[in-house]
Amino acid sequence: MPAAKLGLGYGFKGIKKLVDVVGPSFAKEIFYTARQFTAEEARTMGLVNRVVPADELESYVKSYADTISGNAPLTVNSVKVIVGETVKPESERNLDRCAELVANCFASKDYIEGRQAFMEKRKPKFTGA
């Protein structure tokens, strides 16, 4: 964030989003110093979840994407939406939509497949239905 080096200002909403991720102390440090941070510093602040060596990045990302894509799409999508709702002000949250997404998971063929695969000790084959 080079704002301090450019003389520009950041509005409340943008700074609030950063504070929500890294906390007020790190947000101040980021803006006050306007310096670049190492990958490990970014991990410590909560800006990134993981740090891997550059030569392992491609294989790590592929493996991670394969893990996510092997899970039930309706579940992954419901969590994506619900986590998004948790960071909204309470008055703006759509809890009915959250409940609908969870109900859709339990009513899906993927739920049946997931339970069946678990009982059969095999990897499930989810379809998003």
Q: Is 120 helix (H, G, I), strand (E, B) or coil?
A: coil
Structural contact between residues 85 and 93, judged by C-beta atoms closer than 8 angstroms? yes
- Give the tens place of pLDDT for each residue, 20-56: 999 999 999 999 999 999 999 999 999 999 999 999 9
pLDDT of residue 45: 95
| pLDDT value of residue 4 | 83
This prediction's pTM: 0.79
In whole angstroms, give the CA distance from residue 49 to residue 42.
Answer: 9
Phi/psi at 119 (5° precision): -65, -35
Contacts 24+ apart (CB under 8 A), 51-54: none
Low-confidence stretches of the chain (pLDDT < 50) are none
Residue type, 40: E
* pLDDT confidence of residue 5: 82
